[in-house]
A and B are shown apart, each in its own frame.
Chain A
Amino acid sequence: MLETRNLTFSYTPQKRFVFPDVACADDETLLILGRSGRGKTTLLHLLALLLKPESGQIVVNGTDLARLTVRATVAFRAQNIGLVYQRPHFVASLSVLDNLLLANYLAGYKSDRDRARQLAERLGFSEHLSKKTTQLSLGEQQRVGIARALMNRARVLLADEPTSNLDDDNCDRVASLLAEQAHEVGASLVIVTHDQRLKERVGRQISL
């Protein structure tokens, strides 16, 4: 469950964003569309608590994020928010499995190997678990990125252009997997994109 009210942010006085209110209930998918430069990524980073809003309110699962201390913010993000990036980045020196377990570790949870194997199975990269991430194809990497976002059973999944670098087949697959996995844990799924292919798949849309 995610909700924003009167959110604004400015990098400089000239470059100021006023965002429409966004709400995404549990087990719901919201598509945020917009051309580059309209603040899509900025909005996503605000939702992910990577940026502090100039004004306005963000409420996730009933917690007003503005009230959290810096330390609590870090912990809250790690435990409640799963991030999927446009180009998945990993800790290059670690194996695929360890990259998944890293999400547990950094959020302060115990390593959940079963969950990692299960997700790998479901997302179709279980034979790559012991490989380095750089040995995987882009589509596979994106799926590992999704699995990582799901490791802590996040309540809110935020995806930043998750499909823009993928071909149609992979785009299809990643979009379905995202929706499917979000549904499984009953998480709110917010996708920020300019990828027209996703428009037809998701009902609720907001344009910036």
Chain B
Amino acid sequence: MNLLRISWANLRDKALSSFLSGLLMALGVTIISLLLILNQQLTEQFTKNVRGVDLVIGAKGSPLQLILASIYQIDAPTGNIPLAEANRLTRSPLIKEAIPLALGDNFKGYRIVGTNQKYLLHYGATLAEGTTFNRPLDAVVGAKVARLTGLKLGDQFAGSHGLTGEGHEHGNKKYRVVGVLAPSNSVADQLILTPVESVWEIHEEEEGEARAKPSLMPMMAAPDQSPEGEGSGEERNADPENSASAVGATEEITALLVKVRNPLAKLTLPRAINDNSKLQAASPAIEINRLFTLLGFGLDTLQYIALAIIVISGISVFVSLYNSLKERRYEMALMLSMGATRARLFGLLLLEGLMIALIGFVAGILLSRLGLAVLGRNVEDNFHYDLNALTLLPEEGLLLLGTVAIGLLAAALPSLGIYRINISRTLAEE
């Protein structure tokens, strides 16, 4: 027999109202915790992958799209740019380093990225086995791609046209896996890397046999992900901009990841490029900031709603205790007459609020992790990004404190009535 047991018995005795209070508490905690994790994971993923890239240069279009496509590999690229023009730009003294990217194909939904060794260095990706790519059609496979598709050293595979799902397969030229990357916890984990030349080679071939193929990129703007009809004239018309470039196409890339020499160049270079060329330069920092500002508005709103739910849960604890205390006045007087001190009974009631808060918190955290697992699978399927957080975030410690404070406060207010009970009179009434 102890206070905990009595409190617990009291909670169970009014199971429904305890359940309601606990449920509200859990719901609020779930939403807040889920928001915290998502925010943390998104920020982490986004800042990790942007590191060191000051600018991205690509075809004109939405700067945010360009960033999402070339750094995070989640959106479709804005188009292609002629290699010659790109090369001319990289000779600018303001540019310290430029990494070319050529997108357009995938293997089982994992993007094949034509690039050079600097890309590996940039993301600190090291080889787990094999060698790096040297010749066209060599492929280095990201850790996650290797794990999930089963590609191993020496395997040959054909890329499919497009960036997601099943496109037209480039059956004639096959890639050969020469290396597998160790996990670097960056975007490189989910990519298949190959020299830029591989991409050119494959698409030259295609163009030879079917003139209608757009040079590199089947523009994602075209809604059809269905197997593209071999050289149908219709498709060519559907994508005039791209096919126009395809006619005179020599060699093209999708984007350049650029590091500049000095901070000032981050401001001057984009302006020069955007004003004076057919290309655009976008700053990851600015675009991601913009994205977070847009998202942040929604996140904030949700956070306020969740806080409101927690407060309502507190009110529900308050009402429930207030009502039961009116009914239990005699019970309280009885326990006082049996040797309980008022402080002890006060503690007994606080314990009820505390228990609801703790149960709500634990259930909420469990629910949020469950929600994250479901959400994570979704994100994984669609974007190949992992979401995982099995540890408690520091902010969740604060959330625990807040929840407990609300539980205690909600219990304390009605429980102060304990100190006003007149034992003799309460026992004599009846």
Q: How large is the interface on A (under 10, 10 to 19, 20 to 34, 35 or more residues)?
A: 20 to 34
Which residues of B lie under 8 Å from residue A90 when comparing CB positions? 331, 334
How far in angstroms is the closest Cβ of chain B from A134? 10
- Cα A102 to Cα B340 in complex, Å, equals 10
Q: Contacts A87-B430, A93-B9, A94-B6 given: A45-B424 contact, CB under 8 Å? A: yes
B13 touches A93 (CB 8 A): yes
- Cα A48 to Cα B423 in complex, Å, equals 11
Contact of B337 among A83, A87, A108 (CB under 8 A): A83
B340 touches A93 (CB 8 A): no
Instruction: Give the residue name and chain of the A residue nearest to B423 (CB).
Output: A50
Cβ-based interface call for A98 (8 A): yes
A79 touches B427 (CB 8 A): no
Q: How many residues of B contact A (CB 8 A)?
A: 24
- Cα A74 to Cα B334 in complex, Å, equals 12
Contact of B339 among A77, A85, A94, A98 (CB under 8 A): A77
Cβ-based interface call for A91 (8 A): yes
B1 touches A101 (CB 8 A): yes
Q: Contacts A45-B424, A45-B427, A51-B424 given: A93-B337 contact, CB under 8 Å? A: no
Contact of A111 among B1, B423, B424, B427 (CB under 8 A): B1
Q: Could you tell me which residues of chain A, from 184 to 201, have a CB within 8 Å of some CB in chain B?
A: none
B337 touches A98 (CB 8 A): no
Instruction: Give the residue name and chain of the A residue nearest to B336 (CB).
Output: A74
Q: Contacts A83-B337, A91-B331, A93-B13 given: A105-B427 contact, CB under 8 Å? A: no
A93 touches B428 (CB 8 A): no
Q: Contacts A50-B423, A102-B1, A105-B2 given: A91-B337 contact, CB under 8 Å? A: no
Q: Contacts A50-B427, A98-B1 given: A93-B339 contact, CB under 8 Å? A: no
B430 touches A86 (CB 8 A): yes
Contact of B338 among A45, A71, A107 (CB under 8 A): A107
Most chain A beta-carbon contacts within 10 A, residue among B2, B6, B12, B339: B339
- Cα A106 to Cα B9 in complex, Å, equals 16
How far in angstroms is the closest Cβ of chain B from A198? 20
